[in-house]
Amino acid sequence: MQNFLQLWSEAARTSLGFFWMALWAFILGYFISSLIQVLVTRARMQKAMGKDGLRSMLLGTFFGFISSSCSFSALSATRAIFNKGAGLAPSLAFLLASTNLVIELGMVIAIFLGWQFVVGEYVGGILLILITWLLIRITRSRRLEAQARSQSDQDEDHHGAEIDWKEKLVSMQSWQKIGQTYVMEWQMVWRDVLIGFTVAGMISAMVPDSFFQTLFIGSGGEHAANPGFLAVLAQTLVGPIAAFFTFIGSMGNIPLAAVLFGQGVTFAGVMAFIFSDLVVLPVLRINANYYGWKMALYLLALMLVAIVFAALAMHYTLAFLGLLPDFTAMTAPGNRAYFKLNYQLVLNVISLLGNIVLVWLWYKAQHAHDAHDHHSGHEHHHHDHSQHTMSLVDKILYVLVVIAVVWLFGGLIVSLF
């Protein structure tokens, strides 16, 4: 019992320590993302996207890069672009770029895993797009695509005349929109982040090394520093399978990926795990609702093949260049001093002050909206309620959130005694 309480305490402290390490990167990343989303409108995005070809692929990738990092938000935006007439390949380029080529994700990866994984994320993200494009050109079914378009609802809002970004920067109304977007970003990911960091702390403190060596063949043992091709391939295949059954998004997966790497999982295996935020069970279900099960399974197969090839390509490119990161250099999570006076504390304090300003802007925007539109407020809230009726996945997530909160607070209380 004493041993369990000690592990519980260590797991809770590790989870909170992980989050403290990443806090400034989350806040700064979502602020930059919110700025871009307000200054660059989705209407312009959709107008610029052509039917197919290199130009459309480049535009889809660019617009994805400057868009949201939340997988579920990206799915919705991708559906909107697809409905507006963009080709399947440019739509998927947008989806892959918006979940892999994002600023805040790179920041969090740099903190937990190092610069090689940041290169793997961005260059590998571009490889994912190119491989998916090639696979679509080889396997494309126009009939399947037509069925997906007919099933998908065309219910996107249309916005009025666009304002120049320079005018937006000096407009209080635009800054309130930035505050709203920032809070919405957090609303979309906070559950994934909370669950992800809690799970990462639990695994780091409580799961023995032997488990990872069994799950990821060839990790941890004497051959972990120089695994053969079959071991690397096996781990690359296990990464997406392990991720498929989780509810954790790409942000929550990073500290868990750091734990996997620290246990000797190869660079390719860890990258495949990180890339797999679009092949998890909830994403498959959402795609099935949008496009039908045939298209959802087709997209799943495309992503899985692209993930394996991209992860292997990045692994062996870095190995050839002699730049492959060494898992033995990773500091064991339990041995880190998370809460101390250093640059991280300064960055977190500055970021939290900025966070307060952005939340205040969001509050002002909400207050102004209620005051201006109070006569239709009842209808609006009723509409929102109907749109946000909780799905089974949402209910499961909220149960996991409650468990995570109880676990963290319980662990902190145990550590006091």
Cα separation, 98 vs 66, whole angstroms? 7
State residue 193's pLDDT score: 79
In terms of pLDDT, which residue wins out, 264 or 49? 264
Q: Where are the domains of the chain?
A: 2-151+170-371+389-416
Across the range 107-135, mean pLDDT stands at: 92
Given a cut of 90, whether residue 134 has pLDDT beyond it is: yes
**pLDDT attached to residue 160:** 46
pLDDT in tens, 151-167: 654 444 444 456 666 77
Distance CA 103, CA 19 (A): 17
Instruction: Read off the pTM.
Output: 0.71
Higher pLDDT, 84 or 142: 142
**pLDDT (average), residues 169-188:** 84
Contact 5, 414 (CB under 8 A): yes
- pLDDT-derived band at 283 (thresholds 50, 70, 90) equals confident
**For residue 155, what pLDDT is reported?**
43
Share of the chain above pLDDT 90, in %: 24
Report d(CA 357, CA 1) in Å as an integer.
Answer: 45
Report d(CA 176, CA 161) in Å as an integer.
Answer: 19
Give 285-338 pLDDT, tens digit per residue. 778 878 888 999 999 999 999 999 999 999 999 999 998 888 777 665 555 666
At residue 317, the 3 state secondary structure works out as helix
CA 93 from centre of chain = 16
Which span out of 85-89, 244-248, 336-340 was modeled with the highest average pLDDT?
85-89
- Which is it for the CA torsion 332, 242, 306, 62, positive or negative? negative
The pLDDT tens digits for 12-46 are 988 888 788 778 877 877 787 778 667 765 556 55
Average pLDDT (127-131) is 95
Confidence of residue 342 (pLDDT cuts 50, 70, 90): confident
pLDDT of residue 135: 94
Q: Which amino acid is at 53?
A: G
Contacts of 191 (CB under 8 A, 6+ apart): 397, 398, 400, 401
